[in-house]
Amino acid sequence: MKGENIKFLIQTDDKKGLISHITSFFFNLDLNILSCQQFTNTIHQQYFMRICLDAADLTFSREELETKFSALAKQLNLNWSVHYSEDITNVAIMVSKPTHCLYDLLERHREGYLKCNIPLVISNHLDLKYIADQYDIPYVHLPISKATKPQQETQVVELLQKHNIELIVLARYMQVLSADFIDKYPQQIINIHHAFLPAFQGANPYLKAYERGVKMIGATAHYATKDLDEGPIIEQDVERVSHESTPQNLKRIGADIEAIVLARAVNSHLENRVIVTGNRTIVFPETSA
């Protein structure tokens, strides 16, 4: 297990002694702490921690570690999850016709910047098959209409289950997923919205931005929920524009922002740096561990 690590994500009501209790627990198990990130929300009195351990020090089973930590969690009333870096996440990418986000994700994956498996790309159009072919990734074409939406989503779910998909990335998939579909994958669907939410929700945000005369445009990556474009935000970015920018200029500039923001959000999720709390997220900064 050399070079591997174990990450615990923890949230609870803030109280004295949390850091001492948690770090002492791992010390007493002879586990080396590689990094410890924390945040206290003083408005709501909530505490969040991401603690990374050297897996090389684990001399007993995962099950035993989790059982021991469960006892501490019960004592301290912790909500927690644990993640092992040797477990590589299976990711499905869903697309329609825009190319930029798909190209960016697949290239980052090939270069090793996104540590995951991508067993398939799913689309309601055939237009982007040539891109998946360039990266030797299977491309599944599942057309959709209003009448066939339930059947198409059933086919998608069957594919996701077959490939043990743990994260779904909507890389400009221009279809609204049903509530039933989203319920099956809570906090496992990342969408990129081509606007700086909560402004300009829904379709044609660049035209809306042009008509409003904005002086900056942006993109937002968020977890998909039943409420369109209102899920917990993971990542955002913006770029300044001017009165001279046309809707087409805004769309071109926005495409670059979308690709960067989506990649950052996916990477944060893959590296287990995100804790969802209500409709907000705590996203810990990237570290070497």
The set of catalytic residues is: 229
* Alpha carbon distances (Å) from 110 to 116, 140, 251: 10, 20, 27
73: left (phi over 0), alpha (psi -120 to 50) or beta: alpha
Is 213 in contact with 243 (CB distance < 8 Å)?
yes
Is 116 in contact with 167 (CB distance < 8 Å)?
yes
Q: How far apart are CA 177 and CA 179, in angstroms?
A: 7
Question: Which residues in 116-201 belong to E strands, given as ranges?
Answer: 117-123, 139-141, 167-170, 189-193
* Alpha carbon distances (Å) from 101 to 60, 94, 160, 254: 42, 10, 20, 11
